[in-house]
Structure 1
Amino acid sequence: MVQTKDSDSRRLLQRLQGVMAEAGEGQARLDRITALVADSMGTEVCSVYLHRDAETLELCATKGLNAEAVHVTRMRVGEGLVGRVAKRAAPVNASDAPSSPGFRYMPETGEEIYSSFLGVPIQRLGETLGVLVVQSKDARSYTEDEVYALEVVAMVLAEMTELGAFVGEGEALRARHKSQVLFRGGTAQEGAAEGVVFLHNPRVVITNPVADDPQAELERLRAAVDVLRVSVDEMLEGARGDKEQVEVIEAYRMFANSRGWLRRMEEDIDLGLTAEAAVEKEQSTARARMGQVPDPYLRDRLADLDDLSNRLLRQLTGQATVSAEALPDGAVLVARNIGPAELLEYGRGLSAVILEEGSVGSHAAIVARAWAIPLVINCKGITTEALNNDVVLVDGDQGIVHLRPDDSVRNAFRDKLEMQAAALERYASIRDKPAETQCGSRIELQMNAGLMADLPSLSTSGAEGVGLFRTELQFLTRSNVPKRGELASLYKRVMDAAGGKEVTFRTLDIGSDKVLPYMKPTEEPNPAMGWRAIRVGLDKRGVMRMQLQALIRAAEGRPLTVMFPFIAQLEEFISAREALLLEMHREKSLNHVLPESLKIGAMLETPSMAFAPRRFFELADFISIGGNDLKQFFFAADRENERVRRRYDTLNVSFLSLIEQIVDRCAETNTPVSFCGEDAGRPIEAMCFAAMGLRKLSMRPASIGPVKHLLRRTDLDEARAVIDAARTSGAQSVRPAVMDWLKRRG
């Protein structure tokens, strides 16, 4: 029985290290470990259960239970006491296991004669790999020291599993990071790419978790923590004058100086772990807690602790943070999440981006669209499964990632890439031709942009102008508010690069998922419908005024086109419009050069504006239908929610009727109207919008070729007849009828 938390545990780990060093197959090594732990813990039983798949645990080794049950006994996560340990990622300590809630008797194991049960998760960085169990005939509750010692052993087993020490026959003993894995995530940016994994924060793999000299390990840990604290103090000093940023780093500093955090790691070293293993054990505990905590504030704090652990591990191992200069050819960036500034640092050398988290409206999605590279989000578990330089196939159209694919998958994927390349060649041949339909209608195709790097696409894509320039990216990628002169210089370069083609600047659209680093975030139950876009601009007049002045000055006598986002009622547009006209008056009084002409428009993103007073359409020089937001509000389906965002079809009869109503109302006042959003870049949807009367569409540059290709082969009068017939028939969506018509036309 374990009497202390130091000498006995250390001896156990040293014996464990000896077993690890012995030659032999994975199964034999596991068998020796269970016998060793049972002997050291003074128990009749020690068993190791490993994940066969995400939902199933398999008994892989045992000392004390029936040997015939090995690789036969399986249970679901959450089933029985072992399944409960795996589901909660927390120990279960029961003196009378058969009477404990959730107990499940497995007759083939012969465990009915054992009363006490102690199970701890075998986990690494928040990923539960299995469960380590000891059992005794005596009805006993295991002491804190015993629980702690078994957790340390479980941590070593996790590291050894990561290193492939237990590879053998069967799914549960398969080699990690070797076989192909399919991930199903969500589409945030379409496209396909083949490349190699480049981890944004590659994890440290600990090759020797057992310490030979605990005192030396303690000194290494303390020295590394001292360096970490100094670096955090330097971060804090650099943030002085920025109240919100200081508050964030102060919380960070509190963790770095936490005696409890350091004490727990020192105790782990006393038990026989190396400094790196002690840090990772605490990190795994924090990651496991993150998944159990519903409070977003507490989750953020645990994420701070996780980040500090990463920094400390890099300090201990001497591994520098990865840099953009290290990018291999065909790099596919893999990260849990990433901010716009970090993503922009990598430049355009990336082939694709894969995130464990993220959303379709996130900063990363905006940048990925600007670069026209595939982005797949919500790929759970990929950062723990992928290794640097692993081959990866990214299907942004389907939201699918193939990690380490076999030859048959790679060949099929390459066929898809070749077909896309052939299509691109066809689109290049019509780049300079107008999007004129067979019935003689001319559709103006413009591109969306948000970075200076986007502007070369203006000529290569065949776009006739920039229908949306997102100005918030310049605010999101900085740690402080940009100056007016900096903005004016940037907007001037954008207009210069456009070469006389129209650029429609959308004023600052922040809030919802786009929170400025230097702006205190506000907790809102539904941020997409909260304090955002024009609502922020009208409340923060100083920021809006500075941006409007920068736009006026950037024009340098050229035409200027400005539109205000997220207008929900007439009064908001009147106020925003008057603010811009007032700045024009002030610039004139200062004898500054005014734009040659000024167009002031609005984004129609809320259904309320389809029913706005006629005055709104008379005042607006143009209207841009913001399809992404309009669709989510029309169907009451959050576009960040993968469960609901794909349930509703853009070609739903009700939604097309709304588009038709907006087009008709704009026609009454001769107000130009366009459609801007993801759906404008989908050829079938774009054709239907044109059939409903829209004559201007704005989309990502890569979509212009496919959309133009279909429009030039379409008779919009015929398409409208098909749509109207489907509407009259009572169909919910016109898509089936339109697709059937297109197939019949070949």
Structure 2
Amino acid sequence: MDDRFETDSRKLLVRLRDALAEDSAGQARLDRIVGLIASSMRTEVCSIYLFRDPETLELCATEGLEAEAVHQTRMRLGEGLVGRVARSRRTVNSADAPSERGFRYMPETGEERFSSFCGVPIQRLGEALGVLVVQSKEAREFTGDEVYALEVVAMVLAEMTELGAFIGEGAALAARHQQPAMLRGTVAQEGAVEGRVFLHEPRVVVTNPIADDTDAEKRRLNEAIEELRMSVDDLLETNRAVDPEQVQVFEAYRMFANSRSWLRRMEEDIANGLTAEAAVEKEQSLARNRLSRAADQYLRERLSDLDDLSNRLLRILTGQGRETGAEMPENPILVAKNIGPGELLDYGKTIRGIVLEEGSVGSHAAIVARAWAIPLLIRVNRITQEALNGDKILVDAEQGVVHLRPDETVQNAFGDKIAMKNRAQERYASIRDLPAEAKCGTVVSLHMNAGLMADLPSLPSSGAEGVGLFRTELQFLIRNQMPKRAELSALYARVMDAAGGKRVAFRTLDIGSDKVLPYMKPNDEPNPALGWRAIRVGLDKPGVLRMQIQALIRAANGRPLTVMFPFVAQLDEFRAARAEFEKAMERERILGHPLPSDVQVGAMLETPSLGFAPDVFYREVDFLSIGGNDLKQFFFAADRENERVRKRYDTLNVSFLSFLERVIERCDAHGTPLSFCGEDAGRPIEALALAAMGMRTLSMRPASIGPVKHMLRRVNLRDVRAAIDAARDRGEQSVRPAVLEYLRDDGWID
């Protein structure tokens, strides 16, 4: 790069720093800055456009265009060359702007006199803030050095915008992170809660983007890079022995950390006037923009590696990190891009709710959230960019909405919603010890789902008659190596102790699909939900299944034991799994260990095929539990992770209820106990319909037992069944309208 140009670039940044240091309003600063840039770049025009809302850019300052156009000229995202830069987050550099694709003439600006155009995005870590533009009458393309200088200036402008240097009147100059924001996401665990934001990874704030001493900044960068390399080497060696599957990740980290081109680019940024941390962030933003568009999936996946590495380097340089960040506020709502089960469990049940930018409804975080009965929203786009530690936040995990920094009207409405829920909970507490007996005399047994020891105190307070599903995979997912049999046995024994003699149905290890053990080599399957998972893994890896069964037998220590196998699709799978159980029982007998006083071995019906299994299956299995979440996605061929299709299919669809009716009839004919387990069991309308169809045991999260029991005790199930049958006879697709109409006619709902 030209030495004179490096000097000019540094001079411009120094002048910018001085302008930013002046005690003046945000608009005055912007006006001064565009003049400085135009002068330094030797162009007739410099303009700054900022977003006033996610879809609209506004001209906020200009040198060279008509002054009256400031705060009047606006364009949609993608409109004109400025909108094109904002949407693509790529530079547009043209000697003849009017001939460019998408050019739009703005007559109020007077820009028809200018031929050359160069626009660069003002962005920070993937978040577009605006566009910086220079124009000139001379028809010429701007040089690579000039474009580079504009990128450096745009990076400084992004940091200053983040720090509130340009606050003024109007939406485009409004203080960032102070305005109310509503974001939408996907419900992974229902509920409604208010609290304060607690960021899992606090934002690293670069407060000094412009260097005073470039040599000193290069030394800081090199020292930080060396510390980063040593920490990555340590991580690699530590995980090589205990967690071999993570080695590839840290090998990629080491490759990036030792990249000479990465270091050279950052040193060039420093030579042009940026501090070390600003140089790191500039290259991170550019790489994020470049890799996110790569056609190669491998390159796109490397983006997260580079992001993590850059963030580690920024924390070394700034001293900012979780250990020096904000203290956990009262009523904390955890906000993160994503989070593993071990990290989530480290926070404990002090967390009131969780909001994730990524995640899935079957993720580890979702499993823990359901176990804790706390609201969880996933796929909330931009939440980690919008939220700051301590922000007021309302999480409506029923409507799939997050309100950040809500105004008084929204907060009051949400408060009323919470108050109504609290009053309802008081009503539910009054019937806690009463049976779920409908007016027709039918009694439905209500059980709770669990997966952690922390769930078990909810058993007596919820009114549950037992644990219809204890998920055993969490103990495997939260550690970096296979748990020992003695550890599992001790845990299962504590679960039985905490249940106080009530039935606990332990589901054997249900992994695969979206639940992958960190120490088990992942399988590259085109459709994991239909692949090698659950009992299929157990039968192919019988050592793990036997170890878990032995741990359960020893935990029972002479008490009754209930075990069920997940994802059984055919009779032979159940017979093979039960044979493993019998082998384990015989081994324990030979070893002289006490055997369970009573054994119940069941299966989870999660595939339609099992509904059509031979009669002998229904005679051999001790009980069946319908896994509603998986069964519904396979029945309708609708991926439960796919928002575009999963909500199109109703649990109260006539076809689905008719299938369940067939299973109920077959179980009744053979005296096979049957339960329904899943999210739908905990929804009062769905639970009512399931009970009316003949389902006599439902298992759900503890918080759902009160509402379901309250509903069941108010109705006559024979009347509900009559309404369902009438809807089926009329050829209706779903019986939901008929059930709701019955409840309205009887005055149970408005």
TM score, norm. by length of structure 2: 0.97
Instruction: Quickly say closer, same or farther: Cα 1:539–1:289, change in 2 above 3 A.
Output: farther
Question: Equivalences for 1:631-670 in 2 at 5 Å?
Answer: 631-670=632-671
Aligned equivalents of 2:623, 2:581: Cα separation in 1? 15
Aligned equivalents of 1:540, 1:78: Cα separation in 2? 54
Q: Is the 8 A contact 2:201 2:321 kept in 1?
A: no
Q: Could you tell me which residue of structure 2 aligns to residue 158 of structure 1?
A: 158
Aligned equivalents of 1:567, 1:225: Cα separation in 2? 52
| Secondary structure, aligned partner of 1:240 | helix
- Deviates most, 64-73 or 447-456: 64-73
| Secondary structure, aligned partner of 1:359 | coil
| Secondary structure, aligned partner of 1:134 | strand
Which letter maps to 2:199? Answer: L
Q: Could you tell me which residue of structure 2 aligns to residue 253 of structure 1?
A: 254
Q: Could you tell me which residue of structure 2 aligns to residue 417 of structure 1?
A: 418
Question: Equivalences for 1:377-392 in 2 at 5 Å?
Answer: 377-392=378-393
| Secondary structure, aligned partner of 1:345 | helix
Which letter maps to 1:375? Answer: L
Aligned equivalents of 2:693, 2:313: Cα separation in 1? 59
Q: Is the 8 A contact 2:188 2:366 kept in 1?
A: yes
Q: Deviations over 1:551-581 (max 9, x none)?
A: 1221111111111111122222222121211
Aligned equivalents of 2:623, 2:151: Cα separation in 1? 65
Which letter maps to 1:283? Answer: Q
Residue 714, structure 1, aligned to residue 734, structure 2: no
Aligned equivalents of 1:693, 1:225: Cα separation in 2? 66
Q: Could you tell me which residue of structure 2 aligns to residue 54 of structure 1?
A: 54
- Name the count of aligned residue pairs: 746
Q: Deviations over 1:271-324 (max 9, x none)?
A: 111111111112222333354245443233211111111111111122232499
Aligned equivalents of 1:86, 1:529: Cα separation in 2? 41
User: How big is the shift at 1:106?
Assistant: 2.4
Q: Could you tell me which residue of structure 2 aligns to residue 139 of structure 1?
A: 139
Residue 333, structure 1, aligned to residue 334, structure 2: yes
Q: Could you tell me which residue of structure 2 aligns to residue 210 of structure 1?
A: 210
Residue 577, structure 1, aligned to residue 559, structure 2: no
| Secondary structure, aligned partner of 2:448 | strand
Q: Could you tell me which residue of structure 2 aligns to residue 587 of structure 1?
A: 588
Which letter maps to 2:701? Answer: R
Q: Is the 8 A contact 2:667 2:673 kept in 1?
A: yes
Q: Is the 8 A contact 1:601 1:624 kept in 2?
A: yes
Aligned equivalents of 1:297, 1:582: Cα separation in 2? 45
- Deviates most, 529-538 or 12-21: 529-538
Residue 191, structure 1, aligned to residue 191, structure 2: yes
Question: Equivalences for 1:68-107 in 2 at 5 Å?
Answer: 68-107=68-107
| Secondary structure, aligned partner of 2:317 | helix
Instruction: Quickly say closer, same or farther: Cα 1:182–1:322, change in 2 above 3 A.
Output: farther
Q: Could you tell me which residue of structure 1 aligns to residue 35 of structure 2?
A: 35
Which letter maps to 2:580? Answer: A
User: How big is the shift at 1:350?
Assistant: 0.8
Q: Is the 8 A contact 2:202 2:321 kept in 1?
A: no
Aligned equivalents of 1:521, 1:290: Cα separation in 2? 24
Instruction: Quickly say closer, same or farther: Cα 1:220–1:513, change in 2 above 3 A.
Output: same
Aligned equivalents of 1:542, 1:92: Cα separation in 2? 60
Aligned equivalents of 1:619, 1:314: Cα separation in 2? 60
User: How big is the shift at 1:139?
Assistant: 2.3
Q: Deviations over 1:418-450 (max 9, x none)?
A: 111111111111111111111111111000001
Q: Could you tell me which residue of structure 1 aligns to residue 484 of structure 2?
A: 483
Q: Could you tell me which residue of structure 1 aligns to residue 695 of structure 2?
A: 694
Aligned equivalents of 2:481, 2:168: Cα separation in 1? 54
Aligned equivalents of 1:286, 1:292: Cα separation in 2? 10
Aligned equivalents of 1:727, 1:508: Cα separation in 2? 38
Q: Is the 8 A contact 1:324 1:345 kept in 2?
A: no
User: How big is the shift at 1:700?
Assistant: 0.3
Q: Is the 8 A contact 2:202 2:325 kept in 1?
A: no
Q: Is the 8 A contact 1:327 1:349 kept in 2?
A: no
| Secondary structure, aligned partner of 2:322 | coil
Q: Could you tell me which residue of structure 1 aligns to residue 345 of structure 2?
A: 344
Residue 506, structure 1, aligned to residue 507, structure 2: yes
Q: Could you tell me which residue of structure 2 aligns to residue 463 of structure 1?
A: 464
Q: Where in structure 1 do 4 or more consecutive aligned residues deviate above 4 Å?
A: 1-5, 322-325
Q: Which runs of 5+ in 2 are unaligned?
A: none
Aligned equivalents of 2:174, 2:635: Cα separation in 1? 48
Instruction: Quickly say closer, same or farther: Cα 1:676–1:227, change in 2 above 3 A.
Output: same
Q: Deviations over 1:490-534 (max 9, x none)?
A: 111111111111111111111111111112222322222222111
- Deviates most, 669-678 or 404-413: 404-413
Q: Could you tell me which residue of structure 1 aligns to residue 121 of structure 2?
A: 121
Q: Could you tell me which residue of structure 1 aligns to residue 321 of structure 2?
A: 320
Q: Is the 8 A contact 1:126 1:286 kept in 2?
A: no
Q: Is the 8 A contact 2:326 2:389 kept in 1?
A: no
Aligned equivalents of 1:298, 1:477: Cα separation in 2? 28
Q: Could you tell me which residue of structure 2 aligns to residue 684 of structure 1?
A: 685
Which letter maps to 1:539? Answer: D
Which letter maps to 1:503? Answer: V
Q: Could you tell me which residue of structure 2 aligns to residue 297 of structure 1?
A: 298
Q: Is the 8 A contact 1:197 1:334 kept in 2?
A: yes
Instruction: Quickly say closer, same or farther: Cα 1:323–1:552, change in 2 above 3 A.
Output: farther
Q: Could you tell me which residue of structure 1 aligns to residue 228 of structure 2?
A: 228
Aligned equivalents of 2:110, 2:576: Cα separation in 1? 78
Which letter maps to 2:554? Answer: R
Which letter maps to 1:113? Answer: R
- Deviates most, 147-156 or 44-53: 44-53
Q: Could you tell me which residue of structure 2 aligns to residue 26 of structure 1?
A: 26
Aligned equivalents of 1:110, 1:172: Cα separation in 2? 22
| Secondary structure, aligned partner of 1:119 | strand
Instruction: Quickly say closer, same or farther: Cα 1:202–1:290, change in 2 above 3 A.
Output: farther
User: How big is the shift at 1:4?
Assistant: 4.5
Q: Could you tell me which residue of structure 2 aligns to residue 528 of structure 1?
A: 529
| Secondary structure, aligned partner of 1:38 | helix
Question: Equivalences for 1:594-613 in 2 at 5 Å?
Answer: 594-613=595-614
TM score, norm. by length of structure 1: 0.97
Q: Could you tell me which residue of structure 1 aligns to residue 14 of structure 2?
A: 14
| Secondary structure, aligned partner of 2:505 | strand
User: How big is the shift at 1:25?
Assistant: 2.0
- Deviates most, 347-356 or 66-75: 66-75
Instruction: Quickly say closer, same or farther: Cα 1:455–1:78, change in 2 above 3 A.
Output: same
| Secondary structure, aligned partner of 1:481 | coil
Instruction: Quickly say closer, same or farther: Cα 1:482–1:324, change in 2 above 3 A.
Output: farther
Aligned equivalents of 1:530, 1:4: Cα separation in 2? 62
Instruction: Quickly say closer, same or farther: Cα 1:323–1:175, change in 2 above 3 A.
Output: closer
Q: Deviations over 1:76-119 (max 9, x none)?
A: 22222222211121212222222222222223322233222211
User: How big is the shift at 1:328?
Assistant: 1.9
Instruction: Quickly say closer, same or farther: Cα 1:648–1:504, change in 2 above 3 A.
Output: same
Q: Is the 8 A contact 1:475 1:481 kept in 2?
A: yes
| Secondary structure, aligned partner of 2:645 | coil
Which letter maps to 2:711? Answer: L
Which letter maps to 2:512? Answer: G
Q: Is the 8 A contact 1:2 1:8 kept in 2?
A: no
Question: Equivalences for 1:230-245 in 2 at 5 Å?
Answer: 230-241=230-241, 242-245=243-246
Which letter maps to 1:14? Answer: V
Q: Could you tell me which residue of structure 2 aligns to residue 67 of structure 1?
A: 67
Instruction: Quickly say closer, same or farther: Cα 1:322–1:288, change in 2 above 3 A.
Output: farther
| Secondary structure, aligned partner of 1:251 | helix
Q: Could you tell me which residue of structure 2 aligns to residue 280 of structure 1?
A: 281
Aligned equivalents of 2:674, 2:476: Cα separation in 1? 28
Q: Is the 8 A contact 1:116 1:137 kept in 2?
A: yes
User: How big is the shift at 1:634?
Assistant: 1.4
Aligned equivalents of 1:468, 1:324: Cα separation in 2? 39
Aligned equivalents of 1:296, 1:489: Cα separation in 2? 43
Question: Equivalences for 1:426-445 in 2 at 5 Å?
Answer: 426-445=427-446
| Secondary structure, aligned partner of 2:643 | coil
Aligned equivalents of 1:663, 1:570: Cα separation in 2? 18
Q: Could you tell me which residue of structure 2 aligns to residue 564 of structure 1?
A: 565
Aligned equivalents of 1:522, 1:19: Cα separation in 2? 56
Which letter maps to 2:494? Answer: R
Q: Is the 8 A contact 1:290 1:303 kept in 2?
A: no
